[in-house]
Amino acid sequence: MAASTSLTLSHAALSRSAVPRHGSSTTTSPAVAAVQQSTLSIPTFSGLKSTVTSSSRAPTRRQVSATRRRVIANAAVETLEKTDTALVEKSINTIRFLAIDAVEKANSGHPGLPMGCAPMGHILYDEIMRYNPKNPYWFNRDRFVLSAGHGCMLQYALLHLAGYDAVKEEDLKQFRQWGSKTPGHPENFETPGVEVTTGPLGQGIANAVGLALAEKHLAARYNKPDAEIVDHYTYCILGDGCQMEGISNEACSLAGHWGLGKLIAFYDDNHISIDGDTEIAFTENVDKRFEALGWHIIWVKNGNTGYDEIRDAIKEAKTVTDKPTLIKVTTTIGFGSPNKANSYSVHGAALGAKEVDATRQNLGWPYEPFHVPDEVKKHWSRHTPDGAALEAEWNAKFAAYESKYPEDAAELKSIVTGVFPAGWEKALPTYTPETPGDATRNLSQTMLNALAPVLPGLIGGSADLASSNMTLMKMFGDFQKATPEERNVRFGVREHGMGAICNGIALHSPGFVPYCATFFVFTDYMRGAMRISALSEAGVIYVMTHDSIGLGEDGPTHQPIEHLASFRAMPNILMFRPADGNETAGAYKVAVESRKRPSILALSRQKLPNLPGTSIEGTAKGGYTITDNSTGNKPDVILVATGSELEIAVKASEELKKEGKTVRVVSFVSWELFDEQSDEYKESVLPSGVTARVSIEAGTTFGWGKIVGSKGKAIGIDKWGSSAPAGKIYKEYGITVEAVVAAAKQVS
Amino acid sequence: MAASTSLTLSHAALSRSAVPRHGSSTTTSPAVAAVQQSTLSIPTFSGLKSTVTSSSRAPTRRQVSATRRRVIANAAVETLEKTDTALVEKSINTIRFLAIDAVEKANSGHPGLPMGCAPMGHILYDEIMRYNPKNPYWFNRDRFVLSAGHGCMLQYALLHLAGYDAVKEEDLKQFRQWGSKTPGHPENFETPGVEVTTGPLGQGIANAVGLALAEKHLAARYNKPDAEIVDHYTYCILGDGCQMEGISNEACSLAGHWGLGKLIAFYDDNHISIDGDTEIAFTENVDKRFEALGWHIIWVKNGNTGYDEIRDAIKEAKTVTDKPTLIKVTTTIGFGSPNKANSYSVHGAALGAKEVDATRQNLGWPYEPFHVPDEVKKHWSRHTPDGAALEAEWNAKFAAYESKYPEDAAELKSIVTGVFPAGWEKALPTYTPETPGDATRNLSQTMLNALAPVLPGLIGGSADLASSNMTLMKMFGDFQKATPEERNVRFGVREHGMGAICNGIALHSPGFVPYCATFFVFTDYMRGAMRISALSEAGVIYVMTHDSIGLGEDGPTHQPIEHLASFRAMPNILMFRPADGNETAGAYKVAVESRKRPSILALSRQKLPNLPGTSIEGTAKGGYTITDNSTGNKPDVILVATGSELEIAVKASEELKKEGKTVRVVSFVSWELFDEQSDEYKESVLPSGVTARVSIEAGTTFGWGKIVGSKGKAIGIDKWGSSAPAGKIYKEYGITVEAVVAAAKQVS
């Protein structure tokens, strides 16, 4: 979907950004100036799928009446005014039955959670949260994450009532059907209004930590005493399943450490998981654990009908600004179902016609399936104008901010819109063969430090390996509770949480470029989050060092073998293995540009030379010839390699040339990018007529069969690594110039 | 290494098992009888790498003098007699300097942890633990796990002092060198005396939970009021890094839930991780979190020199029998190094010659590198005879147990030795095309329930998906705190912990056959543990259901695409995708037999027919022809498929045959097993002359290029799945009979 009208800054705000700048005595950096220049035209950012139509576009400030503004101002300070309880109840039952009916029609899905969580869902979306249903991407919206993603009908029902265009009645009727906007779990890339992709348990709460981190960081960096331009909450509902997952403990430990006061998580404490009562596997004291993690805890004992309890809990949570809050809400799964409530049978299957009828009886619900009573419809209808007004208010605020703090505004705008300062990529250094060699992990640090000043949204860190992964941006301090404006994030030894937090940062605003790091082998610890990066189009950069047996003495537990192949097999993720300085720069260039596709950089621990023929441009094509002494696209043999083995291929080619062979060396730095090139280009690099091919890579040969063909030879490692100095392992494993020369002679 | 003498039951105990059985009025099951029959000969189990030589074999009971027996009995009740403190200190410094010297010589490694943890290490191995250094596989030994595996020089130093043959002085000098017994992290498959493979943080503590579960289970199942035949502790040292990992919270939550009273974990609380002070990322209250998880907590404030504090803590821990204990031991990382102690610089690098000298000065250590003072050597020398005596005592106890409880003894012996009851595999059912079709997940449950009565060591469960993964053994109850003798384990939604716990169970005793289950896509959550299964030769069976888009409505977050390829690329793990009943039986047969190689079974949610030509025998070969109407090994086209797509291939072959083609259909159920067949066999299935090949699998085509060749075609899914009914997705994604027929015509 084209999205030139879909920016989170409205047109008005963007065009106002050109007013003369006052009150700033600091010099304007080139990066900031570039963003400022771009603000007169509407930048197109394809990362946003908007539901904004011309008719529903946010009204300008003038269009919002004075009365309306007062109402909104009240909403903004969240006076938890009690609406008529009968109406609230009706609204809550509407949510329940939309979920029941959709699951029943699909004969597939999870009615239990929506039925139990409808009260907190109603209160959040109707009374608490600030959002604009007609622009789901409005920057300063409150974020909501349904970590217990299987209960997605709760969220779809709420989006529907709130007026989001993505979820019309017909969409609810298409729940879990081909091509619908209401898939089986919440997917941000399908349904505007859904912030992140959940379903795999624990991911959502960790995403929420990332969203709250992003807010705290931006607020600290850009808010002024006279202008709170970044100011939203992050809400999350998580269940027993999420609580059991290690990833949630990792992320929540960090949330406590960072003091993310605007993160408010609702723990749907219903004592039921798929296998039955949580007593069979989950008897820990969750409250106490969260206290230990540094959270504020509130217990809502009656989550089923204690609406005021829920409201009071939220009110209390907002008064605690130095800690995240866990509101434990004790609910009955499948509330309202006379025969299935409070049992695992209501968790993940349709109630069945008979029990649906019984539930209608029990809750006094006389309506047809999918019916929204008029008074409920009317009650919720205010969110469309109110939301538009909220956005317009904020746009006006931003305009004022911009005129007073133009440099900050320009940076923030880059983060908000995803439009990078023009020419940012010129910051990347290039290399010649004369440049002294270096480990690609060190070159990666050079790139990060070159990019940090020109990319306002670059933020990240390592899972306790900053000094090994080389991920520190030297001009910044640590993002910590007391210094949230800083950009080096210390994740501790929490790989899975780290990945999911970065997904949250990436999906908070399109101009964020989050990166995170560990040893390449430990992608095994965070693969769940990396897959969600790829699926949910979160352009996280994974800086993965120590990428082969070349790490040496740490041994097989630390030496990746199968990892390159395992990611090459994954959709929508770029797997890079750069060989030197130019290729590391090229990988970063593509990775930064790829805001809807995550990238993995596999980087060496050991020093590598800068090779002749490598380039940023070549790297962007995924595979390219770096040396060739043949003519007519017909070398005697083609040597294909990646990363640290490209040097070996080059040396082998020199040996073979001495013996009179014509040899091409191809760097195959990213298979995915090469696959996307034209057939002509591919033929120019790997001519089908040349079947004499040898590949070399210090990892599994799995997958190389397709490249080298049945007449070629793949040199690699199809067994575990070993603990010894790197040179020794390379030699013992036959990852050598001699092996390539011998194989080349054999196949050509 | 051949290991016919390496059994954890000594020869004497084995031969005594044939004495007439008394006191048992129950009938002998065929399974038990089979084990009993096998006890007259010495079973060979290649899973054990023994260091037992004929000269060091455990003495028989008679050889142990009465005095010795009394001493051992005292040791067994662990009167924590204080040895001369000066000698203890000298022993502790010996451990420190062995670590310092080995790291220095290798110029690689982690001296900080061994220097800080030497006191608790000394007390454990010298004063507390019961083991036999000359038979590291003695069944009833206490288990020790160094979860902070980077500190492996601590364990190597202790094994060396204790008299384990694997770690002689020359082995210490070969630390981290090619082919040594002292690799960079502890590896059970390299170093007898090391129980599990650690290094990837958090795995070890989860393995320890598995070891303690195994002990509690066997004790409950086999101990009698008059015979405590299973009775050992599991000790573990874990650091801050392990504590931050989600896997440790998962496993420790289960340990608390199960009340594993004989698990005693030492938390090396040194406040330093690689990136510096733990203040930067780890400020949670660990004690309180563990209390919340149901553990007993003790704090040793002076772990550096408070030897009695450590001793008292262990004593206290043993009095708490209904909870695991965490002993938080506050230590100084790199204790003794005047300039580097208490800093990250001592964590992961050699001290350097100058600082080594300064540390020698500081701790008053006048000796040459690798020197063990005579009095220390003498002091530790008693562990060889004492350990032999402990084992002999136990063997005698077992002999008495066996004569009184022959059936229980036979079962336990199967678990202890890894020798399964003869003919166990006959329990597996076979199928004909007339047998009604079923989902392979249901067939998997049939296999588990068929095997449970004949495999005493079969134990396992699911991560809260028992009713979806179909993993319940219906004749057993749940392994719980109050019913630890049962064999269905409820892991909760804790995939990573589950995998690592199963590794611990598998490595506790060679006859355990642990299995665990979740949806196939969630292997992403537990890949870290699965890789350790493969590396550490732990024969866990991974029951992974919902193996493709065939699961339907749950959508892309739940639909595996890249997972088959990602495991085919991993060394030493069998990836099965059975197509029907016979293949599911065949996969189980191989999986059960593979005690040193884990297996993954990818199983369908949807119903599949029993196909003509499938077999247990064919499955064991990995790839085999199920139908072919050609002669002379020259079909017009070969169709290759796995799992649910084998049916599609068969139907396509029928279409093609109608059109006069000769067609072979090959089931490619396990690529790894096919790779291991002879060239002749492989040629007989996939003749090199037939290049017209079409593969079909509802997953990535990555890797299939090698099978179908450049002239063939791979049908698969190289993008994300979708939320819709399964049939619709298959059709939309082109995983159809029509697509196979079309491709076959195209290539042939």
- DSSP letters for B233-246: -EEEEEEHHHHHSH
Residues from chain A that touch B201, judged by Cβ atoms under 8 A, are 493
- Supply B88's token pair: 């203890």
- Supply A490's token pair: 């210390």
Out of A106, A202, A491, closest to residue B281 by CB: A491
Cβ-proximal residues to B86 (8 Å cutoff; 6+ apart), any chain:
none
- Supply A395's token pair: 């746009």
φ and ψ at residue A37, rounded to 5 degrees: -60, -35
> What span, in angstroms and rounded, lies between the C-alpha atoms of A565 and A562?
6
Residues from chain B that touch A274, judged by Cβ atoms under 8 A, are 464-468
Tell whether the model's pLDDT for residue A30 goes beyond 80: no
Tell whether the model's pLDDT for residue A664 goes beyond 50: yes
φ and ψ at residue A684, rounded to 5 degrees: -70, -25
- Supply B129's token pair: 């633990």
Across A144-158, average pLDDT = 98
Q: Name the pLDDT band for A83 (thresholds 50, 70, 90).
A: low
> What span, in angstroms and rounded, lies between the C-alpha atoms of A511 and B649?
47
- Give me the pLDDT at residue A366, please: 97
Q: Name the pLDDT band for A484 (thresholds 50, 70, 90).
A: very high
φ and ψ at residue B516, rounded to 5 degrees: -150, 165
Please report, in angstroms and rounded to a whole number, the separation of the first and last CA atoms in chain A: 49
- Give strand pairing partners of A237: A146, A266
- Give me the pLDDT at residue B689, please: 96
> What span, in angstroms and rounded, lies between the C-alpha atoms of B184 and B171?
12
Contact B213, B227 (CB under 8 A): no
What share of chain A in percent tops pLDDT 90? 88
Token match 């010649």: residue? A432
Q: Which of B250, B495, B645, B647 is catalytic?
A: B495
Pick from A228-242, A501-515, A621-635, B273-287: least confident: B273-287
Out of B250, B465, B705, closest to residue A706 by CB: B705
- Supply A433's token pair: 């063969």
Q: Name the pLDDT band for B54 (thresholds 50, 70, 90).
A: very low
Min CA distance, B488 vs chain A (Å)? 11
* Contact between A553 and B106 using a beta-carbon 8 Å cutoff: yes
Tell whether the model's pLDDT for residue A461 goes beyond 70: yes
Residues from chain A that touch B198, judged by Cβ atoms under 8 A, are 557
Min CA distance, B41 vs chain A (Å)? 35
- Supply A209's token pair: 């930590």
Pick from A529-538, B8-17, B649-658: least confident: B8-17
Q: Which residue of A has its CA nearest to B712?
A: A706
* Contact between A571 and B720 using a beta-carbon 8 Å cutoff: yes
Picking from B130, B4, B44, the residue whose alpha carbon sits closest to that of residue B388 is B130
Across B719-733, average pLDDT = 98
Min CA distance, B243 vs chain A (Å)? 8
Residues from chain B that touch A184, judged by Cβ atoms under 8 A, are 553-555, 557-558, 723
* Contact between B183 and A722 using a beta-carbon 8 Å cutoff: yes
Picking from B431, B432, B425, B469, the residue whose alpha carbon sits closest to that of residue B450 is B425
Tell whether the model's pLDDT for residue A556 goes beyond 50: yes
Question: Among this protein's residues, is B495 annotated catalytic?
Answer: yes
- Give me the pLDDT at residue A217, please: 98
Residues from chain A that touch B553, judged by Cβ atoms under 8 A, are 106, 108-109, 176, 184
* Contact between A288 and B285 using a beta-carbon 8 Å cutoff: no
Out of A275, A557, A709, closest to residue B200 by CB: A557
Please report, in angstroms and rounded to a whole number, the separation of the first and last CA atoms in chain B: 49
Q: Name the pLDDT band for A520 (thresholds 50, 70, 90).
A: very high
- Give strand pairing partners of B269: B330
Picking from A35, A540, A103, the residue whose alpha carbon sits closest to that of residue A356 is A103
What share of chain B in percent tops pLDDT 90? 88
What residues of B form the annotated binding site for substrate? Answer: 110, 347, 441, 468, 546, 554, 558, 605
Out of A183, A286, A288, closest to residue B723 by CB: A183
Token match 């997958």: residue? A703
Contact A440, A482 (CB under 8 A): no
Q: Name the pLDDT band for B34 (thresholds 50, 70, 90).
A: very low
- Supply A297's token pair: 């805890």
Contact A146, A121 (CB under 8 A): no
Burial B298-337 (b: 16+ CB within 10 A, else e): bebeebbebbebbbebbeebeebeebbbbbbbbbbbbbbb
- Give me the pLDDT at residue B83, please: 58
> What span, in angstroms and rounded, lies between the C-alpha atoms of B698 and B700?
7
- Supply B87's token pair: 């000698």
Q: Name the pLDDT band for A519 (thresholds 50, 70, 90).
A: very high
Q: Name the pLDDT band for B44 (thresholds 50, 70, 90).
A: very low
Residues from chain A that touch B570, judged by Cβ atoms under 8 A, are 561-562, 566
> What span, in angstroms and rounded, lies between the C-alpha atoms of A264 and B704?
47
* Contact between A702 and B569 using a beta-carbon 8 Å cutoff: yes
What share of chain B in percent tops pLDDT 70? 89
Question: Which parts of B509-595 fold into alpha helices (H)?
Answer: 527-535, 563-568, 581-593
Cβ-proximal residues to A324 (8 Å cutoff; 6+ apart), any chain:
A212, A252, A255, A256, A259, A260, A261, A263, A264, A265, A294, A295, A296
Which amino acid appears at position B662 of this protein? T
* Contact between B492 and A281 using a beta-carbon 8 Å cutoff: yes
- Give me the pLDDT at residue B21, please: 33
- Give me the pLDDT at residue B43, please: 32
* Contact between A466 and B527 using a beta-carbon 8 Å cutoff: no
- Give me the pLDDT at residue A274, please: 85
Which amino acid appears at position B93 of this protein? N
Q: Name the pLDDT band for A61 (thresholds 50, 70, 90).
A: very low
Average pLDDT value over all residues in chain A? 91
- Give me the pLDDT at residue A275, please: 87
- Give strand pairing partners of A541: A515, A599
With the C-alpha atoms ordered A646, A648, A654, A655, is the resulting torsion angle positive or negative? negative
Q: DSSP letter at A368?
A: P
Give tens-digit pLDDT for B446-485: 999 999 999 999 999 999 999 999 999 999 999 999 999 9
Total CB pairs under 8 A between chain A and B: 353
Tell whether the model's pLDDT for residue A18 goes beyond 90: no
Q: Which residue of A has its CA nearest to B200?
A: A557
Q: Which of A464, A526, A686, A733 to mutate to test the interface with B (most CBs of B within 10 A)?
A: A464
Contact A203, A529 (CB under 8 A): yes
Query: How many other C-beta atoms are found inside a 10 Å radius of the C-beta of residue B679?
Result: 7
Q: Which of A195, A215, A495, A537 is catalytic?
A: A495
Give tens-digit pLDDT for A300-348: 999 999 999 999 999 999 999 999 999 999 999 999 999 999 999 999 9
> What span, in angstroms and rounded, lies between the C-alpha atoms of B553 and B557?
10
Residues from chain B that touch A288, judged by Cβ atoms under 8 A, are 288-289, 291-292
Min CA distance, B128 vs chain A (Å)? 30
Token match 């749950």: residue? B554
Contact B463, B491 (CB under 8 A): yes
- Give me the pLDDT at residue B393, please: 98
Min CA distance, A550 vs chain B (Å)? 14
Average pLDDT value over all residues in chain B? 91
Picking from A248, A237, A332, the residue whose alpha carbon sits closest to that of residue A289 is A248
Across B489-515, average pLDDT = 98
Q: DSSP letter at A695?
A: E
Alpha-carbon distances, residue A663 vs A654, A656, B478 (angstroms)? 9, 7, 64
Q: Which residue of B has its CA nearest to A248?
A: B246
Give tens-digit pLDDT for B582-623: 999 999 999 999 999 999 999 999 999 999 999 999 999 999
> What span, in angstroms and rounded, lies between the C-alpha atoms of B413 and B410?
5
* Contact between A244 and B464 using a beta-carbon 8 Å cutoff: yes
Give tens-digit pLDDT for A281-304: 999 999 999 999 999 999 999 999
Reported ipTM = 0.91
* Contact between A558 and B729 using a beta-carbon 8 Å cutoff: no
Q: Which residue of B has its CA nearest to A705?
A: B706
Bridge pairing between strands A276-277 and A624-628: unpaired
Give tens-digit pLDDT for B305-347: 999 999 999 999 999 999 999 999 999 999 999 999 999 999 9
Tell whether the model's pLDDT for residue B76 goes beyond 80: no
> What span, in angstroms and rounded, lies between the C-alpha atoms of B682 and B649?
20
* Contact between A282 and B492 using a beta-carbon 8 Å cutoff: yes
* Contact between A570 and B556 using a beta-carbon 8 Å cutoff: no
Q: Angle B166-B398-B1 (CA atoms, 0-180°, nearest 5)?
A: 30
Min CA distance, B524 vs chain A (Å)? 5
Query: Which one is predicted more confidently, A250 or B344?
Result: A250
- Supply A261's token pair: 């006061």
* Sheet bearing B143-146, strands edge to edge: B143-146, B234-239, B263-269, B325-330, B296-300
Residues from chain A that touch B260, judged by Cβ atoms under 8 A, are none
Min CA distance, A84 vs chain B (Å)? 37
How far is C-alpha B120 from the geometric centre of its chain's CA atoms?
26
A101 labelled binding-site residue: no
Token match 């059907």: residue? A177
> What span, in angstroms and rounded, lies between the C-alpha atoms of A467 and B217?
44
Residues from chain A that touch B536, judged by Cβ atoms under 8 A, are none
Q: Which of A147, A244, A247 to mutate to test the interface with B (most CBs of B within 10 A)?
A: A244
Tell whether the model's pLDDT for residue B721 goes beyond 50: yes
Tell whether the model's pLDDT for residue A6 goes beyond 80: no
Pick from A341-350, B374-383, B554-563: least confident: A341-350
Contact B725, B709 (CB under 8 A): no
* Contact between B724 and A178 using a beta-carbon 8 Å cutoff: yes
Tell whether the model's pLDDT for residue A168 goes beyond 90: yes
Bridge pairing between strands B663-667 and B624-628: antiparallel
Picking from B140, B142, B115, the residue whose alpha carbon sits closest to that of residue B126 is B142
Give tens-digit pLDDT for A603-626: 999 999 999 999 999 999 999 999
pTM above 0.90? Answer: yes
Q: Which residue of B has its CA nearest to A725?
A: B177
Query: Which one is predicted more confidently, B83 or A518?
Result: A518
Q: Name the pLDDT band for A104 (thresholds 50, 70, 90).
A: very high
A357 labelled binding-site residue: no
Q: How many CA atoms lie within 13 Å of A233's alpha carbon, on the beta-carbon side? A: 27
